[in-house]
């Protein structure tokens, strides 16, 4: 029997490959924390009380705790939970049957990152192409693992859910699976409430074009893009959060009636009263949690939480600007839901500041929690969506317009050198590898590609001129 002339190629199973990459990346970066049981992110220390899950007799007198948790009777057992994040507390309570809270916080990234990666792969694949899905997933892995604690997925804090919780909302909105979107929103409420507000407003923005198109037929509104499901899930979300709103704007007292007398006196001392929240020294420059490091961009009340996030956002903005210069309006052809997410971040930031001004409290949480998620994810999608086309069109542009070459080469070199010399090395080091040197290599490679295209242009023109002279 003659051998077949055709060779069947196995299709690359990208979902499995991406899962393996994400797990190995987390393992590489999380190994020092896993081998040291007491090495943990500094902010996780505020959840010391979670050890009560395994030993309820711990901390019988806890006068320093005033707003962290309340104790519920769950099937006859006293269980401390967080009203601001019921799902987060219950998740750690379930994990306490197998691990200590410290260990469990370090293991969560092994579950959450692969799931987020798969969602992004499917989103990019559905919205554009398989290569876009792969690039989006890998870009997300690099960003969340290279980010500081404020946006990193590694520490196991509540805020580490932020990006991962928004991704399913975006995916299901794009697929117009509105019931699944409502479930994703309720998960946001349980795990990290600010993202439920971001997701709900994003859904509302996504509704606007359909509602406007049918503005003369209000009877059809209920059929447009899951409007009834959005209203229903919002009502349920408010119901879940109701105990929180009834407890003095996120201040949930923990009774200390059994406290020792000396501790009771300390706990009974009233806090200073300020005319405005921003008058509190803790929120001013030099305080424990300043609202602004660089007004109005960086700080708890700015667009991003800290300088490291600001640098990452600046890099993404620089790449996006370069893409716009090369591709023009064609680069703006993104899914509607991505544009909704971009603008929603600014809307949520404005609402949060409005509530701070009116109620003098973080009723809608910290303003930067919204924009740092919406901006980072939107710019990542923008760069990935246009990356391949930008390279192709950029080469063509360089061949037809040689005057751009010196300016582009100088601009790229200036940005790369500025980051290499001025960006702190300790913040750029991941797993012992200084990522600034990779940036230097990337810059040199880019310069090489530019000048290779220039040489190609000169050789092509010279050959054409010689051919014309031969005629």
Q: What does the domain layout of the chain look like in residue ranges?
A: 401-471
Q: What is the pLDDT of residue 23?
A: 94
Q: Distance (Å, rounded) from C-alpha 156 to C-alpha 164?
A: 12
Note the pLDDT of residue 19: 94
Q: What is the DSSP string of 183-246?
A: HHHHHHHHH-HHHHHHHHHHHHHHHHHHHHHTTT-GGGGGGSTTHHHHHHHHHHHHHHHHHHHT
- What local confidence, expressed as pLDDT, does residue 254 receive? 41
Question: How far is it, in rounded angstroms, from Cα 380 to Cα 141?
Answer: 11
Mean pLDDT of 254-267: 46
Question: From CA 443, how far away is CA 260, in angstroms rounded?
Answer: 63
Q: Which of 198-207, 268-277, 392-401, 450-459 has maximum average pLDDT?
A: 198-207
**Hey, which of 207-211, 317-321, 416-420 has the most confident mean pLDDT?**
317-321
Q: Which pLDDT belongs to residue 188?
A: 92
| Rounded alpha-carbon distances, angstroms, from residue 113 to 59, 119, 137, 245 | 34, 10, 10, 31
Residue located via tokens 């876009």: 132
The tokens describing 235, both together, are 């009502």
Average pLDDT over residues 184-204: 91
DSSP three-state, residue 296: coil
What is the model's pTM? 0.81
120-155, pLDDT tens digit by residue? 999 999 999 999 999 999 999 988 877 655 667 888
According to DSSP, the β-strands at 433-434 and 77-81 are: unpaired
Better pLDDT: 66 or 296: 296
User: Using CA atoms, how far apart are residues 461 and 411, in angstroms rounded to an integer?
Assistant: 26
The confidence score (pLDDT) of residue 468 equals 47
| Cβ neighbours of residue 277 closer than 8 Å, sequence gap 6 or more | 283, 356, 360, 361, 362
Burial of 146 (0-12, 13-18, 19+ CB in 10 A): middle
At 432 the pLDDT is 57
Residue 196 has pLDDT above 80, yes or no: yes
Give residue 428's pLDDT: 60
> Residue 111 pLDDT > 90, yes or no?
yes
Count other C-beta atoms under 10 Å from residue 70's C-beta. Answer: 17
Q: Which DSSP helix (H) or strand (E) runs through 20? A: helix 14-35
- pLDDT score of 452: 61
Please determine, for residue 436, whether its predicted confidence score (pLDDT) is greater than 90: no
Angle at 381 between CA 200 and CA 430, to 5 degrees: 105
- Other C-beta atoms lying within 10 Å of the C-beta of residue 192: 25
User: CB-hemisphere CA count at 13 Å for 55?
Assistant: 9
Average pLDDT over residues 258-262: 46
What rounded mean pLDDT belongs to the chain?
78
Quickly state the pLDDT bin for 258 (edges 50, 70, 90). Answer: very low
Please, which pLDDT band fits residue 243 given cuts at 50, 70 and 90? low
456 has pLDDT over 90: no
Q: Closest Cα partner for 155 from 47, 287, 315, 51? A: 47
The per-residue pLDDT for range 385-414, each reduced to its tens digit, is 998 888 888 777 767 766 666 666 666 677
Residue 260 pLDDT exceeds 70: no
- Please give the full DSSP string across 22-54, using - where no structure is assigned: HHHHHHHHHHHHHHSTT---GGGGGGGGGGGGT
Tell me the longest C-alpha to C-alpha distance in the chain.
106
* Proportion of the chain in helix, strand, coil states, percent, rounded to 5: 70, 5, 30
The predicted-structure confidence for 148-187, as pLDDT tens digits, reads as follows 556 678 888 888 788 899 999 999 999 989 999 999 999 9
Q: Is 320 within 8 Å of 382 (Cβ atoms)? A: yes
Kindly state the average pLDDT of the residues 435-441: 64
Predicted local confidence at residue 443, as pLDDT: 63
Q: Which of 374, 386, 395 is nearest to 129 (CA)?
A: 386
């Amino acid at each position: 029997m003659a051998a077949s002339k055709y060779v069947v190629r196995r299709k690359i199973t990208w979902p499995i490959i991406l899962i393996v990459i994400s797990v190995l990346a987390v393992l590489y970066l999380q190994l020092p924390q896993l081998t040291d049981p007491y090495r943990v992110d500094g902010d996780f220390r505020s959840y010391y009380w979670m050890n009560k899950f395994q030993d309820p007799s711990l901390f019988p007198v806890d006068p320093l705790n005033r707003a962290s948790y309340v104790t519920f009777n769950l099937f006859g057992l006293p269980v401390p939970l967080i009203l601001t994040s019921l799902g987060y507390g219950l998740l750690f309570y379930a994990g306490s049957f197998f691990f200590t809270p410290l260990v469990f916080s370090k293991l969560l990234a092994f579950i959450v990152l692969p799931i987020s990666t798969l969602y992004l792969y499917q989103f990019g694949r559905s919205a554009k192409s398989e290569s876009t899905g792969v690039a989006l997933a890998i870009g997300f892995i690099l960003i969340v693992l290279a980010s500081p604690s404020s946006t990193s997925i590694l520490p196991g804090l509540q805020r580490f859910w932020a990006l991962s919780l928004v991704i399913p909302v975006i995916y299901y909105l794009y697929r117009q699976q509105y019931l699944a979107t409502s479930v994703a929103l309720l998960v946001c409420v349980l795990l990290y409430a600010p993202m439920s507000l971001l997701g709900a407003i994003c859904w509302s923005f996504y509704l606007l074009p359909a509602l406007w198109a049918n503005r003369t037929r209000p009877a059809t509104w209920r059929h447009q893009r899951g409007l009834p499901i959005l209203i229903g899930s919002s009502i349920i979300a408010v119901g879940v959060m109701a105990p929180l709103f009834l407890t003095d704007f996120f201040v949930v007292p923990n009774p200390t009636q059994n406290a020792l007398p000396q501790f009771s006196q300390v706990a009974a001392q009233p806090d200073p009263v300020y005319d405005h929240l921003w008058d509190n020294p803790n929120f001013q420059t030099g305080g424990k949690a300043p609202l602004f490091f660089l007004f109005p961009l960086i700080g708890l009340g700015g667009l991003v939480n800290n300088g490291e996030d600001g640098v990452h956002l600046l890099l993404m903005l620089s790449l996006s600007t370069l893409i716009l210069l090369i591709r023009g309006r064609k680069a703006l052809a993104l899914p509607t839901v991505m544009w909704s997410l971009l603008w929603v971040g600014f809307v949520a930031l404005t609402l949060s500041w409005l509530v701070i001004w009116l109620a003098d409290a973080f009723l809608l949480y910290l303003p930067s929690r919204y924009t740092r998620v919406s901006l980072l994810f939107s710019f990542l999608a923008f760069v990935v969506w246009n990356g391949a086309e930008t390279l192709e069109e950029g080469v063509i542009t360089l061949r037809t317009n040689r005057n751009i070459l010196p300016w582009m080469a100088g601009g790229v070199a200036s940005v790369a050198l500025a980051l290499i010399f001025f960006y702190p090395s300790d913040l750029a080091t991941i797993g012992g590898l200084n990522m600034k040197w990779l940036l230097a290599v990337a810059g040199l490679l880019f310069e090489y590609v530019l000048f290779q295209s220039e040489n190609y242009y000169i050789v092509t023109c010279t050959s054409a001129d010689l051919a014309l002279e031969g005629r």
